[in-house]
Structures are given as C-alpha cells and as structure tokens.
Structure 1
Amino acid sequence: MKILHTADWHIGQLFHEYDRAYEHQQFLNWLVATIKEQSVDILLVSGDVFDNANPSAASVKMFYTFLNNALKAQPHLQIIVTAGNHDSASRLESPKPLLESSNIHIIGIIERNTDGSFNYEKLCIPIHDKQGNICLWIMAIPFLRMGDYPTVADSTSPYTDGVMALYQEAYEYTLTQKQAGQAILAMGHLHAMHAEVSDHDNHERLIMGGVEFVPVTTFHENIVYTALGHIHKAQRIGGRENVRYSGSPLPMSFSELNYKHQVVAFEVIGEEITHIQSIEVPLAIPLLRVPSSSKQLAEVLNKLQQLPPVGDNLLLAPYLEVRVLLNGPEPALRHKIEAAIEGKNVRLTKIDVKYPDNKGNVDGETAIALCDKLHELNPFDVFARIYQSKYNNPAPDVLVVLFNQVLEKAMDWQGES
C-alpha cells in the first residue's frame, strides 16, 4: 500500500491579512496530481484542515472539492482525516456518514460507550486492499482536549499521562482486531517532546500553554508509522524514522524563507514499512526579505526602489518583509516604505524594525531597584531612561522640548484641579 502523509493545511488562513485562497488551491491541485502520479492508496491528513473552527463557505467548498477531485483521479483512494486544534471537531465530522460510503473517514470527536469507556472501535479504522481484504489498521486519533483522554490516578502530568494512556489503550484494542501480516499505523495532532518549532509554532505555544508535550514512547515501537500534525516544520521525532511531522504545505512565517515544504510518502508491505521519502511542495507565492539583514532606512529605501515593476497580476506578487535599522522613532516609516514600493511587484506584509544593540540594558534586580526608587525620579528622568533603553540613544532635542511642553501643560491642569 502506498501512503501519503500531510497535515496543517490551514485552509482559510490569512498571511498578514492577505487571502491565501490561491495558494491553498494550487497546493490541493498539486496534491491531486501527486496522488495520481504516485499511485497513492491511502491519504492521511493529520489535523488542522481549516485555520479556524468556523471556516467560510468558500474554504469548506475548497476542501470538499478536493476530496471529490482526489477520488476522481484515484478511484480506489482511501482518505483518513483527523481534526486538529484549529478545527471544529463536530463540524468537521458532520458529513461523515455520507463520506464513509466513499472510503473517506473523518475523525474529530472522541466518543465514549454507554459505560463511560472510550470507543476505540471508532478510532481504529480497517484499511482494505483492492481485493477487499483488510491489510492494515490506522489509529486515527484527533487533537485531544480535556476530557478526551483517560484520567491517570496520582499523575503529576495529567495531559501527558492521559494522552499516553489513550494511545496505549487504542493500540491494545487494535491488537485484538488485527491478524498476522496486518500493520498498525497511528495518527496524532499534538506537540511531541523535543520537536523543533517555527516562529508560528512558538506563537501557538503561547496560546496553548507550553506544557502539552508527549514523549516519542507514546507511540508503540511496533506501530509501523506515526503520522503527526500540529508542528509546522517537517521532521522526524526521537530519532525514529517512522515517527514524523509532515509539516505545513504553505509557509506560515518569514522564518521559513529558505525552508522546503513537503509531504511524506512511504509504502507498507505486510507489517513492514519501506521507501520513506519526502516530496517537496511547490511554492505558489514566494517570500521576499529586503534587505536580508537590517540596514539603515536610506539604504533600505534605495534597495526597495530597485525592485522590479509590478507584473500582470499583483495578487501573485511575492510577500515582502522589510528589515530596517532605526536610531529612534520614525513616525513616517510605513509611508516612506509604501512610497518606495509603489508600482513594484511585491506585497508588503511586515516591517521588522530593530534598534542598535543596547549594551546598557539592566538586569531584573536592577530594574526592581529602579522601580523602588521611581518616586525619587522626576518625570523627565523616567522619559529619558525609557528612551535610552528602547533606542540606545539619548532623546533628541526636539522630543525633549515637546516632552517638557506636555509636562508643563499637565502640571498646569493638575494645579487647576
């Protein structure tokens, strides 16, 4: 069986407020062609199909159109989709009864039996060969929220221990169903311990807490392949070739400027895995960073003015990040940059501003001491210190004059009151 693993599509995502529908459609068109060219039997999509729990009608249509096109291109294809943390588990599952008649399985919700035990039958999906015989089993486990995993008594890490327990119990259940010669695969949408994260992943960790890590031992060594989603950088975990994140097919931040996005393909013969390979996803819209490292504003504007003129379709122009080094506030910065790129074949997404390294930054204890003495400082001293700390330069005379005018006016108002 030829299997292809992908995840983290995030259909409907905006890239710095720019619509990415064209990019997503190009990826899905490429994926359909790849499924046909590679004679893929099984497609695994490990979560975050959509970028939010309430996707637009256009995003939903794009997803289901892809499913239809994939089956037309490869009629025997079997598709397994699990929900990620960005997806609405119930919404993603809603067309499940209809789709299962086409060998499309969507798993979003962790169901329980009447006695309160977990329904592992729903999570363990038999995969049939072209003759209709079961050839392998897939533990299709979606993103696990609180209550979706067993409670482990006296645990100091309820999430980690609970997730490990659920995977162990799902594996044990699957063992009762499989026959000799049938492989077991697993899917997951989670943060594996020691996974290398991108800038976008770091942003999500702040939202999710940063304590939801699971070790690679969560996945039994006899599982021939574990298809993971959630981390956007493709990688193997724990030194195991068969435990992998496929990564996102589209770049999520400028930190991925030179990163090659991919899907993972492999074959399963009996209970053995072979021919694991990464297939690079073509980049529909390039990322452009000008300059490559932060420069003074005059030099940056000169480089921007040298960019090529706009082509036939500005909606296909590269996303632009501008890096500029400033010595102090520059209120007209965005206006100057927009003026420099007017008529150029780029779309401004981000202005990354840096200031000279401040060697005089105070440590935590010094900062506390300064706070304790704050009542001893006059307002101008506070202003001067903050400016120096932020810009590593003394406040310019024009700002000093303006600050003193504001301070004088404020003191007049206080006297009047």
Structure 2
Amino acid sequence: MKIIHTSDWHLGQHFMGKSRELEHQAFLAWLLDQIKIHEVNALIVAGDIFDTGTPPSYARKLYNDFIVALLPLGCQLVIIGGNHDSVATLHESRELLCCLNCLVVGGIRENLAEQIHILHDKQGQPGAILCAVPYLRPQELVTSQAGENSDDKAQGLSQAIKQHYTNLYDLACEKRQELGKNLPIIGTGHLMVLGGQSSESVRDIYIGTLEGFPAQAFPPMDYLALGHLHRGQIAGKQDHIRYSGSPIPLSFDETKQIKQVLLVEANPNQPIEIKSLSIPIFRKLATIRGKISEIESQFKTFTQSEMLDSSLKPSWLEVEIQDNDYLNNIQSQLQPLWENYPVEVLRIKRLQQNIPELRRELKESLSELTVEEVFQRRLQLETFEDDTEQEQLTQLFKEIITTLSEET
C-alpha cells in the first residue's frame, strides 16, 4: 500500500500581488508523474487546499483538472479541510467527486463512522484504514462555560481534540477486527503540534487558547499525516507523525527549505516506511540583506549563482537594508542593479536596530512578559550569519519549554 502525503497547497495564493498559478500548475504536473512512477495507491492532501474560503476561478479549475487527471491512474484521492478552507466550498462538490474516486472531508461529521474509510491496494483489496480528521474548529468540539479562564479553555479544547482522535481510533480498530486483517491505521490532521517549526505565512489557529497539541496525546496510529506547518518535519520527535510541508515557498522565510511530499509504504504486519520526495524549484525566491553598500556585491553573487536556474522566470527577490541612517529614494538607487536580469524585486525592507527602544523594552518588569517574549527580545540583540542558526536556537528553546511543561 503506497500513499503520498502532501498538504498546504494554498491554491489561489497571491504573493505580494503575484499569482502562483504557474508554480502550482508545475507542481501538480510533477505530482501526477510521481504517482505514476511510484505506482501510488492513495494521495492524502492534509488541509489548506485553497488559500481562502472563496478561491478564484482559476484555483478551482486547477483543483478540478487535477482530480480528472488523477482518475485514470487508479489512485484514491483524500482531501482534508484546513483552517484556510471553507467547509461549504469543499463540500459543494463532495458527492460528485465521490464518483471520481475522491473522498472529501472538509469538516467533522455528526456520525463519526463517516470519517472512517478503507484505502485499497493495487489489487483492490483493503490495504489500510483511514481516520480522516480535518481542521477541528473549537466551536465544533467545545462550548464555553461561564467563569472559564484561558487556561481552562485551552485544557478543555486539548482534551476534546484528544477525545475526537481516540474515538476515531477505536472505530478504526473495530473495523480492522471486522475485516479480520491486521491493517495499518492511517490518521490525518490539520493543527499545530507543540514544538513544531512555523513560518511567517502560517496563520495561528487557536489564538489565545491553545498554543499547540502534544504529540504524545495522539492515539497509537501507524502513521499520522499532518498539515498546517509549511516546513516539512517530524512532530514531537515521533517518526510516524509527520508534516509534509507546503509544495512551494509561501513566504520569503521558507525559501531555504527543501520542499517535499512524503511517500509512505504501509503493509500489514510490517513497519511503516517513509521516504521524502524532493519537489523541484519551479521559481526561485530569495532574500538579499545587508547595508546599502553591500547589496550590489550580494546581488552580483546571486545572479552569478545557480539561483536563477529555475523553470519559471523571473525570480522573485526581497531586499533587506540594514542601515540605521536615513536613506532617501532607496528604490531608485537599487533599481539599476536588476534591470538587465531575469529577477523582480517584490519588497524592499529597512531593518533598523532601534537601540533606545530596545533599552526601554528591557526595562519592563519580567512579570509583564512571557518566557517566549523574553527569549525573542534576547535574540534581537544577536547577529546571525544566516536564518538556520536562529531557527535552531528557537527550536531548541521550544523543545525545552515543551519538556518543562510536560514535567509540570
């Protein structure tokens, strides 16, 4: 039983006024090729199919065309709703898509048994049992009670999420016993797991109530296909709980990530095998940063490197100016640099270290700041050679906080 796990397509996204249509077209064509090459039996898209609840017509066309192109390959398609998706939009064609070997679960069902489905192998026999869990909206799971504080609400929501997964897992075990085969149980989800690495394009889900869900609270499924975080990663140090990440960079801070889909091989009485399939770079995105005097040399280095070697032109750049002095007409000063190159600068930012403001903030009482705010302000005083070092420190800090919270 071969499954490809992907998520966070965000069809219809406009990136600083630019359409991602061509990049998404290229990705979907590549994905169809991978399904053919690896003889994949099921494709799971773990949420955020669209960027908004009312996607533009071209995004809907990409979605529909892909489903039609997938049908002759005999690969089952599972569409899971994310926090960016509208349940109504996904479900408007659910019955029709069911006839095209496509299962759509945009929101939780009153009858939980409707979220349990059989995935079939290439012989048409049951190959795995799917617990199809979409983005769980708080209003669908819990009811606010008078006198509850934020901690009470967070605990109640976390418990409700845990109970939903447990109930579905129990139903899947019953189905497995009914079939008389030791089939692997595959789960899905679209949520933030504690300790996960986020990016600036990821929208908070449970604002003010639940920072994240502990990986240890999931039932013992054989594989859990997650969406929401755009960086592919293992969740909670448990190898079978994975975020596939988004197929294209959705913000400039994602440009150093290797984009992927995950090829999962699940067979009865055998351990799950997981392989990452790297997605080609269809359009280059990059950030050039430094003082105004350094930007020209960095731009020349960029244009002479392989960074421009992508299928779609022009490449898109972000320029970060790190001068503290006031600079007039930055755009006109830098414009001649890229006029003759296949690049387009989408944003120019000025990053100033406002020392008096930092000093004022550091005088605040610790009781007014969270642990995370103190850590982030300390990071602002450091100079890093690249984003990787800062990301590693942030990840280590989150792991320490998670461990301490669990011990408490």
Using the size of structure 2 for normalisation, the TM-score is: 0.79
Q: CA deviation at 1:90?
A: 1.5
Give the fraction of aligned pairs with identical amino acids, expressed as a percent. Answer: 29
**Hey, what's the Cα distance between the residues in 2 that align with 1:245 and 1:314?**
26
Post-superposition Cα deviations, 1:117-136, rounded to whole Å, max 9, x if no partner, equal: xx111111122334443232
Letter in 1 for 2:184: A
**1:307, 1:344 within 8 Å by CA — same for their partners in 2?**
no
Cα distance change, pair 212–165 in 1 and its aligned pair in 2 (3 A): farther
How far the C-alpha of 1:190 sits from its partner, in A, is 0.4
Change (3 A) 1:129 1:307: closer
Segment drifting more, 50-59 vs 165-174:
165-174
Does residue 351 of structure 2 align to residue 354 of structure 1? Answer: yes
Deviation, structure 1 residue 213:
1.4
Q: 1:265 is matched with which residue: 253, 263, 266? A: 263
Q: How does 1:5-404 map to 2 (within 5 A)?
A: 5-72=5-72, 74=73, 76-112=74-110, 119-149=111-141, 156=153, 157-179=155-177, 180-201=181-202, 204-205=203-204, 208-209=207-208, 211-221=210-220, 223-290=221-288, 293-295=289-291, 297-301=292-296, 304=299, 316-355=313-352, 358=355, 361-364=358-361
Provide the secondary structure at the position in 2 that maps to 1:282.
coil
Residues 314 and 80 of structure 1: CA distance in aligned 2, closer, same or farther (over 3 Å): closer
Equivalent position of 1:395 in the other structure: none
Relative to 1, partners in 2 of residues 1:308 and 1:177: Cα closer, same or farther, differing over 3 Å? closer
Q: Which letter maps to 1:226?
A: L
**In 1: Cα distance, 2:32 partner to 2:267 partner:** 24
Long gaps (5+) in structure 1? 113-118, 369-417
Amino acid at match of 1:200: S
CA contact (8 A) 2:287 2:319 kept: yes
Aligned length: 352
Decide whether the 8 Å contact of 1:190 with 1:230 is kept in 2: yes
Letter in 2 for 1:125: H
For residues 144-173 of structure 1, give each alpha carbon's deviation from its aligned partner in whole angstroms, at most 9, with x where no partner exists: 112322569995522211111111111112
Change (3 A) 1:357 1:2: same
Measured in 1, the distance between the counterparts of 2:28 and 2:324 equals 45
How far has the Cα of 1:220 moved from its partner? Answer: 1.2
Deviations 1:296-323 (A, max 9, x none): x2442465478759x9x99711111112
**Does the CA-based 8 Å contact 2:282-2:312 persist in structure 1?**
no
State the Cα deviation string for residues 20-46 of structure 1 (Å, max 9, x = none): 111111100000000100110010100
SS at match of 1:200: coil
1:280-311 deviations in whole A, cap 9, x for unaligned?
00010012333xx412x2442465478759x9
CA contact (8 A) 1:321 1:350 kept: yes
Distance 1:367 1:217, change over 3 A: closer
Change in Cα spacing, 1:167 to 1:274, as seen in structure 2 (3 Å) is: closer
CA distance in 1, matches of 2:266, 2:302: 49
In structure 2, the CA distance between the partners of 1:326 and 1:98, relative to structure 1 (3 Å rule), is: same
Measured at CA, do residues 18 and 207 of structure 1 come closer, stay the same or move farther in structure 2, by a change above 3 Å? farther
Q: Which has the larger radius of gyration?
A: 1
SS in structure 2 at match of 1:363? helix
Paired with 1:314 and 1:101, the residues of 2 have a C-alpha distance of 35
1:264 Cα offset (Å)? 0.5
How much has 1:236 moved relative to structure 2? 0.8
Give the AA of the match of 2:4: L
The C-alpha deviation readout for 1:324-355, integer Å capped at 9, x for no partner, is 22233324122322343223221112223223
CA distance in 1, matches of 2:331, 2:205: 28
**Counterpart-to-counterpart distance in 2, 1:210 and 1:283:** 37
SS in 2 for 1:236: strand
Query: What RMSD in Å do the two structures reach over aligned CA positions?
Result: 2.8
- Cα drift, residue 208 of structure 1: 3.9
TM-score w.r.t. the length of structure 1 is: 0.77
Tell me: CA distance 1:249–1:18, structure 2 relative to 1, closer, same or farther (3 Å): same
Which residue pairs with 1:376 in the alignment? none
User: Given residue 188 of structure 2, which amino acid in structure 1 is its aligned partner?
Assistant: M
C-alpha displacement of 1:247: 0.5
Note closer, same or farther for the CA distance 1:95–1:356 as it changes in structure 2 (3 Å cut). closer
Residue 200 of structure 2 aligns to which amino acid in structure 1? D
Q: Name whichever of 151-160 and 315-324 sits farther off.
A: 151-160
Distance 2:349 2:205 in 1: 21
Give the letter aligned to residue 132 of structure 2: A
Residue 61 and residue 208 in structure 1: after superposition, are their counterparts in 2 closer, same or farther (change >3 A)? farther
